[in-house]
Amino acid sequence: MLNIGDTKRIFYAKRKRCMMDTRASVKSINQKIERVWKTQEEQRQKLYHEYCQQFLTLFQEWDTDVQKTKEEEEKLANIFRQQQKVLQRSRIVQSQRMQAIKELYEQFLKSKEDLEKNQENFLIGEQSELGKEMVVLQKHLMMAHQQQEVATVQKSLQSLLF
């Protein structure tokens, strides 16, 4: 039979063993939790590091692309400004050429008009001179004709008289 002292010792031994087992279990669970936590932390760190690298690479590429885009925009803006200057110079030259053409055309019209007036005045003068010459020639012809008639009449009279 077990006496109370033995029961207490057995109970105390079982209790001590249960406490030790509990402590060992808690210690084991804590170690497992700590290992799981460390593993998860390492995985999180690894994942974070991988994505950080990828994001960093993408952001660097993006920044490079943005810089290239800005450079290209600046180049295009410069080209655009140059083209505007060329276009403006071309417009000025075309405007000057058009003005020169207009002035030359106006000179041509004036010269043509002056030439026509001169030719008209010349023709009028020549017609007037021709008319005067015709009148003089007509007078000469009439006088010559009258002189011939007078000479003929004189010859006829002389032949009749002598």
Are 10 and 2 in contact, with CB atoms under 8 Å apart?
A: yes
- Polymer length in residues for the chain: 162
**pLDDT tens per residue across span 105-162:** 999 999 999 999 999 999 998 899 888 999 999 999 899 888 888 888 888 888 877 6
Nearest to 93 by CA among 82, 101, 105: 101
> Distance between CA 31 and CA 1 in Å, rounded?
43
**pLDDT tens per residue across span 49-74:** 999 999 999 999 999 999 999 999 99
Non-local CB neighbours of 2 within 8 Å, separated by 6+ positions? 10
The one-letter code for the residue type at 114 is: D
> Distance between CA 2 and CA 31 in Å, rounded?
40
Q: What is the pLDDT of residue 162?
A: 64
The one-letter code for the residue type at 29 is: I
> Distance between CA 117 and CA 125 in Å, rounded?
12
DSSP characters over the chain: ---HHHHHHHHHHHHHHHHHHHHHHHHHHHHHHHHHHHHHHHHHHHHHHHHHHHHHHHHHHHHHHHHHHHHHHHHHHHHHHHHHHHHHHHHHHHHHHHHHHHHHHHHHHHHHHHHHHHHHHHHHHHHHHHHHHHHHHHHHHHHHHHHHHHHHHHHHHHHHH-
Residue 14 banded pLDDT, cuts 50, 70, 90: confident
**pLDDT tens per residue across span 72-106:** 999 999 999 999 999 999 999 999 999 999 999 99
Residue 33 banded pLDDT, cuts 50, 70, 90: very high
